[in-house]
Amino acid sequence: MATLDRVIDDAILGWHFAPVVDALRALRGVNTTIAATVVAETGDITRFETPRQLMAWLGLVPSEHSSGNTIRRGRLTKTGNAPARTMLVEAGWSYRHPPKEGYPYLKRSAHLPQHIRDIGWKAQTRLCKRYRDLSRTGKPQPRVLAAIARELAGFVRDIARQTPLKA
């Protein structure tokens, strides 16, 4: 995996979105491969005016069947971008562990601005708690991971909006 990360690092050096890929690594569970895949599949994340638009584009929102006053929500739509959605679900697995700033995390995020690291820490504490809360209520594991991926997409958008791009 480290070799793949190095190859991707070399490939994105001159890329317009390289700073966003680097900044997304401040999120727990998001390594170079996941960050590069999400950015490559999504493109300019700042084009989404709200986090909900990004979540819908990724297919991480429930389907809805409405008639009059009756609103019924169903399974995830999954109509969005499958590779990016898959990467966020994979990253969601890391939130089953308690929040901490271990050495690998500190090493890869030390050079990032403090406000980006603060978003990463906020995401880590919130999503770890959410994972535990949903698991404790007996929700099925795939549903828990989809919920975590959905919220993680909001943090991805927040970091992307606050990261200046290369000229």
Residue with tokens 């606050």, as numbered in its chain: 162
Say if 5 falls within a structural domain. Answer: no
Q: Is residue 166 situated within a structural domain?
A: no
In a domain, 9, yes or no: no
Q: pTM of this prediction? A: 0.89
Question: Is 124 inside a domain boundary?
Answer: yes
Say how far residue 94 (Cα) sits from the centre of its chain.
12
State the number of CA atoms in the 13 A half-sphere of 3 facing the CB: 0
- pLDDT, tens only, 26-57: 999 998 999 999 999 999 999 999 999 999 99
Q: d(Cα 150, Cα 84) in Å, to the nearest integer? A: 11
Q: 104 exposed, middle or buried (CB, 10 Å; 0-12, 13-18, 19+)? A: exposed
Is residue 126 situated within a structural domain?
Answer: yes
Q: What would the mean pLDDT of 47-70 be, rounded to a whole number?
A: 86
CA dihedral over 90, 158, 54, 14, signed as positive or negative: negative
Please count the structural domains in the chain: 1
Residue 10: inside a domain: no
Within a domain: 67: yes
Would you list the DSSP string of 107-153?
HHHTTS-HHHHHHHHHHHHHHHHHHHHHHHTT--HHHHHHHHHHHHH
Does residue 72 sit within a domain? yes
Structural domain span for residue 146: 16-161
CB-count burial class (<10 Å; 0-12, 13-18, 19+) for 106: exposed
Q: What is the pLDDT of residues 110-125, one digit of tens each?
A: 899 999 999 999 999 9
Q: How far apart are CA 131 and CA 94, in angstroms?
A: 10
Confidence of residue 1 (pLDDT cuts 50, 70, 90): low
Mean pLDDT of the chain, nearest integer: 89
